């Protein structure tokens, strides 16, 4: 949140919007805001899991199974 031009998405925004913003601005994490307040963060790992669960990044980003 130290960027002069903070970029955010809303909880109801399409995943493609998050992907486009992260790609065009070289972001690894994207704050999710609702009514001007932070409610979450979307990460590259989240997108990898959602888009291609079999990718290496998705595999690394997933929580380890309970043993």
Structural domains in the chain plus CATH codes? 15-61 (3.10.580.10)
Opening angle at CA 15, ends 11 and 20, nearest 5: 115
Instruction: Outline where 1-67 has alpha helix (H).
Output: 15-25, 44-51, 56-61
Q: What is the pLDDT of residue 57?
A: 57
Q: What is the pLDDT of residues 5-60, one digit of tens each?
A: 889 999 999 988 998 998 899 888 999 999 989 999 998 888 877 666 565 555 56
Q: Taking the complete model, does pTM exceed 0.75, yes or no?
A: no
Q: What is the pLDDT of residue 2?
A: 60
- Whether pLDDT at 4 is above 80: no
Q: What is the pLDDT of residue 8?
A: 95
């Amino acid at each position: 949140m130290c960027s002069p031009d903070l970029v955010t998405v809303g909880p109801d925004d399409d995943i493609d919007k998050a992907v486009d913003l992260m790609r065009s601005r070289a972001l690894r994490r994207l704050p999710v805001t609702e009514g001007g307040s932070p409610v979450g963060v979307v990460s590259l790992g989240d997108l990898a899991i959602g888009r291609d669960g079999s990718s290496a990044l998705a595999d690394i980003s997933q929580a380890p199974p309970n043993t």
